[in-house]
Amino acid sequence: MSTTITATTSRTSTQVAVADLFYSFQGEGANLGRRALFVRLLRCNLTCGYPGMPRTADAAAVGAMVCDTEYTWNTAKHDLQAAPAMSAAEIWDDLVRLDPATGNPGLAPVDLIVVSGGEPLLHRGIVTDLARRASASGKALEIETNATMAPSAALIAAGARFNAGLKLASSAVPYGKRIKPQVITQLQASGQARWKFVVTGPDDVREIADLQQEFGLTEVWLSPEGASVDVVISRMRWLADVALTHGWNLTTRQHVLIWGDERGR
């Protein structure tokens, strides 16, 4: 279930461009299969699949791990200006309307909010406001982040959880852009981060093991790269033994298994 988003003409520091608002299941990680209300924000500081921002719409991806939400940042392919500008209050009101329990009190309210992107921590003020509203409403809030931008103390204090997805060499993003030691250390020290890695092949596994050792990462999750059922299942089958051997967790991509790469699911 998704909500219709209409573009507005101006944006302020208290607004953010929103790509999608929808009701679905959390398709990955520790909350796999849990009902959630999603907000996907525009803009990202990384260019997964490419070493830099593509200059043309037909630019070929270089990396094996290609972003599956390029519509949130790739201006060569997508018109980001068409997205609406919304305040945290407006986003929250729409999320409440998306919760089926709002119209049917006989249903259990959705108690998980997922903020994704793009990179949500480019918009710390908006995200912190949403985290505080979630906490006050008795809901958990997860942030899908690439772990290159440090969360504020206020955001950590608001109880947000971080699904921290460090990007690997297979993303084609230069190391210095995708690995920020201070941010990784801060997220790990918060006790509120889970480390989720998108895996395309054996080289990724070796890099994950090195990163875990270097930064003392706990609660590591492997996620198979893939936008089709066949690819996701095939990668999960060989990743299962890898995860068990290394003491890591394994997640599928439930939304892909159910709906393919359909947007807003």
Which residues belong to the annotated binding site for substrate? 25-27, 40, 116
Residues that constitute the known binding site for Mg(2+) = 69
Maximum separation of any 2 CA atoms in the chain, in Å: 53
Q: Tokens 């060569």 — which residue?
A: 76
Whole-number Å distance between alpha carbons of 110 and 179: 34
Residue 64: how many other CB atoms lie within 10 Å: 18
Residues that constitute the known binding site = 25-27, 40, 44, 48, 67, 69, 116, 118
Residue 151: how many other CB atoms lie within 10 Å: 27
In the chain, the amino acid numbered 19 is A
Helix spans in the chain (H): 88-98, 100-103, 124-136, 153-157, 175-178, 181-190, 202-215, 229-246, 254-259
For the chain, the straight-line distance linking the first and the last C-alpha, in angstroms and rounded, comes to 8
Q: Strand, coil or helix: what is 16? A: strand
Residues that constitute the known binding site for S-adenosyl-L-methionine = 118
Helix axes 202-215, 181-190, angle to 10 degrees: 70
Residues that constitute the known binding site for [4Fe-4S] cluster = 44, 48, 67
In the chain, the amino acid numbered 195 is W
Whole-number Å distance between alpha carbons of 156 and 9: 32
